[in-house]
Amino acid sequence: MIELDKHFWSSDLRPSSQPDWARTTSDLAARPHWVMDGDLGPYDVLAPRLRRADTVLVLDYGLIRCVWHALRRSRERADFWRWVLTWRRRSRPVQLRAIAEHASTASCHVARNPQELAAWFASLG
């Protein structure tokens, strides 16, 4: 299990540079087996991990649920909140296009709530 946030953000919450993050993402995706979680919005480099993915799971939860979980988790930067508030309109289409382009042979699943996610996991056996 690879939590992308742990690899991307410095201890003082500065983002990795684009070239450094592209290298890190490629290195992480080169591992023989992995599960990665995270969406780094405008900072992300999707192609390296999508090209190696056999399954993509998109959590497309509603705004209220996302805000509630973020508030419970920790304090966040202003750019995080802009990303949360605009994810459906801005980031989601970018992600779905990237999945179609770079992970066209991967199995793609979209869960819109925790019940759909639980049902998907249950279907795995």
> Residues 49-80, buried b or exposed e (16+ Cβ, 10 A)?
bbebbeebeebebeeeebeeeeeeeeeeeeee
Q: What is the pTM of this model?
A: 0.85
Average pLDDT, the chain: 92
Phi, psi of 62 (to 5 degrees): -65, 160
> Does 77 have pLDDT greater than 90?
no
pLDDT digits (tens, 9 = 90+) for 10-69: 888 888 999 999 999 999 999 999 999 988 888 889 999 999 999 999 999 999 999 999
